[in-house]
Amino acid sequence: MAPTSPRTPGSSGAPLAPLAERVEELLAPGGPLTVVAAGDPVLRAGTERYEGQLGPGLLARFVEALRITMHAAPGVGLAAPQVGVGLRIAVIEDPAPVPEEVRLARGRVPQPFRVLVNPSYTGVGPGRAAFYEGCLSVPGYQAVVARHAAVRLTGEDEQGRALDEEFTGWPARIVQHETDHLDGALYLDRAEPRSLSAQHIALERWSQPTPDAAARALGFELP
- How does residue 16 score in pLDDT terms, banded at 50, 70 and 90? low
64-123 pLDDT, tens per residue? 999 999 999 999 999 999 999 999 999 999 999 999 999 999 999 999 999 999 999 999
Answer for the pair 152, 165: CB distance below 8 angstroms, yes or no: yes
How many C-beta atoms lie closer than 10 Å to residue 112's C-beta? 8
* 168 falls within a domain: yes
For position 9, what pLDDT does the model report? 35
Residue numbering of the annotated binding site for Fe cation? 135, 177, 181
Which CB contacts under 8 angstroms, 24+ apart, belong to 201-206?
A: 202/4, 202/132, 202/134, 202/141, 202/142, 203/6, 203/7, 204/7, 206/132, 206/142
160-203 pLDDT, tens per residue? 999 999 999 999 999 999 999 999 999 999 999 999 999 999 99
At 107, which amino acid appears?
Answer: G
For position 3, what pLDDT does the model report? 82
* 67 falls within a domain: yes
pTM reported for the whole predicted model:
0.92
* 222 falls within a domain: no
Q: Is the preceding omega at residue 193 within 30 degrees of 0, hence cis?
A: no
Phi-psi region of 45 (alpha: psi -120 to 50; beta: other; left: phi over 0): alpha
* Residues carrying an active site annotation: 178
User: Residue 178 maps to which CATH number?
Assistant: 3.90.45.10
Residue numbering of the annotated binding site? 135, 177, 181
Domain count, the chain: 1
* 116 falls within a domain: yes
The count of C-alpha atoms lying within 13 angstroms of the C-alpha of 26, restricted to the half-sphere facing its C-beta, is 27
pLDDT at 15 over 90: no
18-46 pLDDT, tens per residue? 899 999 999 999 999 999 999 999 999 99
Residue 175 vs residues 78, 149, 152, 204, 219: alpha-carbon distances, Å: 10, 11, 10, 27, 28
* 9 falls within a domain: no
* 4 falls within a domain: no
Full domain range(s) for residue 201: 18-217
For position 2, what pLDDT does the model report? 85
